[in-house]
Amino acid sequence: MKAMVHVMLKQGVLDPQGEAVRSALGSLGFDDVENVRQGKYLEIELAETDRERAEARVREMCEKLLANTVIESYSVEIG
């Protein structure tokens, strides 16, 4: 079973990498870009066959390692 995880900085948390990308896009002529938020995308292959258990396991991974839940939020999709 495959899990897709998106990790993003929470709203209100400064995103210097996103700002650097926005600035670089502006210098390349993409002046209409107002804001960029950069995050992480992970694909995790699991041996688990039960969808609910797989999602619970991936959420546990996010809470323990994949996301800093103080400043980041995450979403999990099981496919």
Which tens digits make up the pLDDT trace of 48-63? Answer: 999 999 999 999 999 9
Region 14-34 average pLDDT: 98
Domain count, the chain: 1
**Quick check: 74 and 13 in contact, CB under 8 A?**
no
pLDDT-above-70 percentage for the chain: 100
The residue range of the domain holding 74 is: 2-78
**Quick check: 57 and 21 in contact, CB under 8 A?**
no
CATH number of the domain to which 65 belongs: 3.30.1280.10
